[in-house]
Every structure is written in structure tokens, then in C-alpha cells.
Chains A and B, each alone.
Chain A
Amino acid sequence: MEKLLHSVYLDEEKCLGCTTCLRNCPTGAIRVRGGKATIIGSKCIDCGECIRICPHKAKLAKTDPLSKINDYKYKVAIPAPAIIGQFKTRHSMDRILSAIKSLGFDEVVEVAYGAEIVGRALKYEFHAKHYPKPLISSACPAVVKLIQVRFPELTKNICRLNSPMALTARLIRKRLREQTNIKNSDVGIFFITPCAAKATMVNNPSSTEEDLYANIDGAIAIKDVYNDISSFLNDGAKADTNYNSTPEAFSWALSGGESDYLKNKNVLHVDGIQNVINVLEEIECGKLDTIEFFEGLACIGGCVGGCLTVENNYVAKMYIQERAKNAKQTSILHMSEEYVKEVYNSGMMHIKERIVPRPAEPLDQDINKAIEKMQEIEVLESHLPGLDCGSCGAPGCRALAEDIVTGKAREIDCVFVLKDRVLELSKLTNELLQVGHPTGKTSE
């Protein structure tokens, strides 16, 4: 299988080559080339901003169709906690889960179940390992990628606990292996996802290859199943599934949900990718040295703001808070601390691969050549208008100057430079036209 590093892609027919996504990409990962937006893979963090912002709906996330579940004999849906914010609270959580099951699944297990365990294990991880402070949440894959690309030195701070999604899948496979005769390869686990970044995580085999019991087989967008779930709910179908999570656990869908598990610690939770970048800048220069735990979520409001959700993120937040207020007792409430410790110590909670820094390529491997290029960039930049209009296909004048020096663009890609050149040319043309007919004299 081809290694899929990104799930954001372009519908070429719909893309007009306007510069909206270009100018709003938080990592400057987009260029308009040949009249179409293209993504620079090494810079894209799958945050989904371009999907949200594209006026022509040309940016899409690669997720799996529901029909993919038919490739497996035993189908399990693991919906993200954000799912329960998508529907009015008069639809009970049990009915929402039942509606998901009715899509063709044999079983539905909330990711909030895994979230409860990860949340409660967070305190052990906080004390057990020698992380530099602050410990940084690994829950949002877009933020983890952001750190790898733009804050490489902070990769050491990233918490090495698996996401609730990954843990939930592992626990399901473990249970099915121990308690049933279903072959592991017949089990298909599908994440019902609010965002593109999680879809990438699911579809990126490098993170799961080594451990067959960690596999998640697909990611289905919330918006793709929203309609079917709504119909089920509105048809008044009965609930045949019980939810099994706590308000704390399903509040992971909101910014601060994870942090709430670390009581008595100095936590900071930030949502919205630009805000996250700003605060990480402060952490990196040592300014926020009293913060012990940092939770950064790329989408406004947290996962409820994911680009594959349907309901407005503020409304979704309200629904989740209402549900939290009225939540009934569930068995998970009685989950013993011994059990949490047992799972924590089993090793299944920890990310096995190293979270490596992936800083942007320097201008040149040789520092002297890099300095030369930097000086060229500055000279070029001083000749550009500084409007950051994006018409050249780069997100700003500085970026264009960098692209020119690294051989990816030309100076005349700037419409203002082009205009000046045309003006020069027309002056010359004019001058030549004034010369008139031959006079036979050679003196000027």
C-alpha cells in the first residue's frame, strides 16, 4: 500500500486558482501553480483550514466510503466524542449510537471510552517520565505535525500516550481475541472522524504496521454519515445500544476536555491553529515556564470544530455541555484505578515510534551557500511590492523571493514586476516608433 501522508487533496475541476487557501494556510504549504492550488507535502500538517475556507469547496479530505466496511466480516464503529455534539439533545446518546450501528455495524464503541482511560492515565505519564516541561498533549495530530515541522525542539515535550482512538481500537481487538473466535483479520474497525488529520493518521500505515492489534481499517467522515443518522433519529427508531462514557470523557471533544483530567496542575488549553502557533512560539522562547501541561487543538472549539463535522462548533459545544449536565450513571464511572493502571502498564497505551522533528529544509546544506541565498532573497524581497496579494501563486512577497532563489518561481510571476517590465518595454517601443523614416544621415 502506498504511504499516504496527507488526506487533504484538491478537486481540480472546482479549483479556480483563487488565492483564498493560499493566504490562509497557517504553514504556508500552498502554492497556486498552473492556475490550481497545490500542496507542499513537507509543510502540510493536515489541519483542514483550507478545506474549511475554500469558497468553491475544492479542497477535500480523503476519507473512506461507508461501503468499505463490507470488506470485513465483523464491523466495529468507533465514533469520535464530537459525534454527540452533532445532534439535538432530545436525541439520546443511546439512540445516536444505535443509529450508527444501524449503518451496518456489528458493534459501536465510543472513542470516549478510550478517552476516559487515557485521561486518567495522564497523571501517571505526567509523573513517570522525564519530559521537559510543559508536557504537550498528543491528542491533536495536526498539532503534533505542526510541532514536528515548525517547533522541532518541542517534539521531546510531546506526551507519548496513544490517542483515545488508538487505545479504543486496541482494547476492542484485545477483547475480541480473548473472548470470541473472530479472526483478527476479519475485524474491521472504522473511526467516525470529525477531521482530516485523524483520517491521515488512520490511513498512514507507518504508525500501525508493526502491531496488527492496533489497526484501524478506515476513517469515515461524520458529514458522510450525518444524513443517515439523522433519518434514523427522526424515524423514531429505538435504541439498542447503551452509551458507556462519562461527561469528562466525551468532553474531550471540546478544548480543555483533556486538560481537565490533570487536576491541580498548571494547564493551558488553546484552540484554533493560529492561536496554537502563537502560544507555541511563547513556549519555545521559554516565556511560559510555569505551564505544566499544554493542550493545543487545531480547530476552533476543539474537535467539535473539525472540518468534517456538520453542526456549528459553538452549537455542538452547547449540546455536549447539556449532555454532560444530564448524563446518567454509566458503568465506566466505576472503572477502577487498578484497571487504568493495568492498561497503562501493559504498554498498549504508549506510542512506539519516535516523534521525530521534521524541520523545513534549509536553503542549502552548506551554511555559506545558505547565507548567500538568504542575501539574494532579501534583495529580491526589497524589489517586490510587499502587498502579499498572492497573485504570483505564493502566499506573500517573502515566500515568492524564497521560491525564486530556490528555483521554484520567476520574478515576473509578480504582476507588479511584470507591469513595470511591460511599461519599460512600451517606453522603448514608443522611443523606437519616434525614430521615423530613414534620413540617410548617420549623425545623431
Chain B
Amino acid sequence: MSYELVFDVKRGDFDKAGEASRKIKHTLQQLGVSNRIIRKISIAGYEGEMNLAIHSLGGKIILAVGEKKLTLTIEDVGPGIPDIKLAMTEGFSTAGDEVRSMGFGAGMGLTNMVKNADAFEITSEINEGTKIVMNFFIQ
């Protein structure tokens, strides 16, 4: 049995910021996933959602729930990341002043995803987009 939830995130849509992560959290609670995993996925999901709103031209968050693992895919259409290694460095950010003034752009997004996911994969094509796949294992 598997289950999927898909959310569209538009560029610059800060009004709805966090909505996808909140819904993901609520759904996982109803499915009986442990609080510890829910917390990890909430943090990673929120960072992903913010990345879509700030850096991409829009994208999708897809949560797939399986018996053994949860998969969170964050996929966008956008500029792509030229230097993934640099982007993954703690504190590195290309966010503009406006975004920083809203409290984002501290350069912790990808780092926080890596920290919280049990498995993390990122692929990016310049001028096409970025795709992140994170797995969280249910014991």
C-alpha cells in the first residue's frame, strides 16, 4: 500500500509558506508515523518549500508514504545550481536582501535537509531545474 501527496509551490508565494509542511505533518500524524520522524520530515520539508519559493520559478513537493519508508521529493523548474558542493556549504546563500530581511537565506536550507534525511540525493541542470530526493526510514 502506498500513498502520495502533491503540493504545488509558486515562486515568491510567502503567504502560503509552510502550508505544505503543515499538511504533511498532519497527514503523517494520522498515519501513525512516529513523532521523531515527523519532526525530521517537517524541518526538511519546510526548507524545501522555502527553497522553491525563494530560488525556483515554481515547483512541486511530493510525499510518498510506503510501509518501510517515506520519500520526500522536491522538484523545481528554475535556474539550477551551478556548484552543488558550494551550495551545500553551511552558511552559503544566494538569497537577496529582501528574502534575508524576512528571516530566510541563512544558508542552512540544504544543510538542514541533509542533517534530517536518512538518505539525500540532489541533481541539478543549469537553466532547467533541481531535484532533491530525501528518504526517511520507518523502523
A positions within 8 Å CB-CB of B? 152-153, 281-282, 284-287, 289, 357, 359-360, 362-365, 367-368, 370-372, 374-375, 402
- Residues in B with CB closer than 8 Å to A363 are 30-32
Give chain B's interface secondary structure class: helix
Q: Is B38 at the interface (CB under 8 A from chain A)?
A: yes
Q: Could you tell me if A367 and B43 are in contact, using CB atoms closer than 8 angstroms?
A: no
Q: Could you tell me if B27 and A153 are in contact, using CB atoms closer than 8 angstroms?
A: no
Top 3 nearest A-B pairs (CB, nearest first) are A362-B32, A285-B46, A368-B1
Q: Could you tell me if B39 and A359 are in contact, using CB atoms closer than 8 angstroms?
A: no
**Could you say which of B35, B36, B103 contacts A287, with CB atoms under 8 Å apart?**
B103
Q: Could you tell me if A153 and B36 are in contact, using CB atoms closer than 8 angstroms?
A: yes
Q: Could you tell me if B18 and A282 are in contact, using CB atoms closer than 8 angstroms?
A: yes
Quote the shortest CB–CB distance from A392 to chain B (angstroms): 20
Quote the shortest CB–CB distance from B136 to chain A (angstroms): 13
**Could you say which of A284, A285, A287, A374 contacts B31, with CB atoms under 8 Å apart?**
A374
Of residues A285, A365, A375, which shows the largest number of chain B Cβ atoms within 10 Å of its Cβ? A285
Q: Could you tell me if A371 and B3 are in contact, using CB atoms closer than 8 angstroms?
A: yes
Within 8 A of A (CB), among B20-45: 21-22, 25, 27, 29-33, 35-36, 38-39, 42-43, 45
The complex places the Cα of A153 from the Cα of B116 at a distance, in Å, of: 14
**Could you say which of A281, A362, A375 contacts B29, with CB atoms under 8 Å apart?**
A362
Q: Is B65 at the interface (CB under 8 A from chain A)?
A: yes
- Residues in B with CB closer than 8 Å to A375 are 3
- Residues in A with CB closer than 8 Å to B15 are none
Quote the shortest CB–CB distance from B70 to chain A (angstroms): 10
Interface size band for B: 20 to 34
Q: Is B98 at the interface (CB under 8 A from chain A)?
A: no
Q: A282-B18, A285-B42, A370-B30 are in contact. List 5 more A-B contacts (CB 8 A).
A: A284-B42, A367-B138, A371-B3, A374-B30, A374-B31
- Residues in A with CB closer than 8 Å to B138 are 367
Q: Could you tell me if A371 and B1 are in contact, using CB atoms closer than 8 angstroms?
A: yes
The complex places the Cα of A365 from the Cα of B33 at a distance, in Å, of: 10
Known contacts A371-B65, A375-B3; A285/B30 CB under 8 A: no
Within 8 A of A (CB), among B104-118: 108, 112
Of residues A153, A289, A357, A360, which shows the largest number of chain B Cβ atoms within 10 Å of its Cβ? A153
**Could you say which of A289, A360, A365, A374 contacts B3, with CB atoms under 8 Å apart?**
A374
Q: Could you tell me if B39 and A153 are in contact, using CB atoms closer than 8 angstroms?
A: yes
CB-based nearest A residue for B49? A285
**Could you say which of A284, A287, A364, A402 contacts B25, with CB atoms under 8 Å apart?**
A284
- Residues in B with CB closer than 8 Å to A371 are 1-3, 31, 65
Q: What's the A-B contact tally at a CB cutoff of 8 Å?
A: 65
Q: Could you tell me if B38 and A362 are in contact, using CB atoms closer than 8 angstroms?
A: no
Within 8 A of A (CB), among B46-68: 46-47, 65, 67
- Residues in A with CB closer than 8 Å to B43 are 285-286
Q: Could you tell me if B65 and A359 are in contact, using CB atoms closer than 8 angstroms?
A: no
B positions within 8 Å CB-CB of A? 1-3, 18, 21-22, 25, 27, 29-33, 35-36, 38-39, 42-43, 45-47, 65, 67, 103, 108, 112, 138
- Residues in B with CB closer than 8 Å to A285 are 18, 21, 25, 42-43, 45-46
- Residues in A with CB closer than 8 Å to B32 are 362-365, 367, 370
Quote the shortest CB–CB distance from B38 to chain A (angstroms): 7
CB-based nearest B residue for A357? B35
**Could you say which of A286, A365, A368 contacts B67, with CB atoms under 8 Å apart?**
A368
The complex places the Cα of A365 from the Cα of B35 at a distance, in Å, of: 14
**Could you say which of B1, B22, B30, B36 contacts A360, with CB atoms under 8 Å apart?**
B30
CB-based nearest A residue for B115? A286
In the complex, 23 of the A-B residue pairs with CB atoms within 8 angstroms, ordered by the A residue number, are: A152-B35, A153-B39, A281-B22, A284-B42, A285-B21, A286-B42, A286-B46, A286-B47, A286-B112, A357-B35, A359-B35, A360-B29, A362-B30, A362-B31, A362-B32, A363-B31, A363-B32, A365-B32, A367-B33, A367-B138, A371-B1, A371-B65, A374-B30
The complex places the Cα of A368 from the Cα of B3 at a distance, in Å, of: 9
- Residues in A with CB closer than 8 Å to B31 are 362-363, 367, 370-371, 374
- Residues in A with CB closer than 8 Å to B103 are 287
The complex places the Cα of A153 from the Cα of B36 at a distance, in Å, of: 7
- Residues in A with CB closer than 8 Å to B65 are 367, 371
**Could you say which of A153, A282, A365, A368 contacts B38, with CB atoms under 8 Å apart?**
A153
- Residues in A with CB closer than 8 Å to B112 are 286
The complex places the Cα of A381 from the Cα of B73 at a distance, in Å, of: 25
The complex places the Cα of A85 from the Cα of B125 at a distance, in Å, of: 63
Q: Could you tell me if B25 and A374 are in contact, using CB atoms closer than 8 angstroms?
A: no
Q: Could you tell me if B25 and A372 are in contact, using CB atoms closer than 8 angstroms?
A: no
Of residues B29, B65, B67, B108, which shows the largest number of chain A Cβ atoms within 10 Å of its Cβ? B29
- Residues in B with CB closer than 8 Å to A402 are 30
The complex places the Cα of A282 from the Cα of B39 at a distance, in Å, of: 12
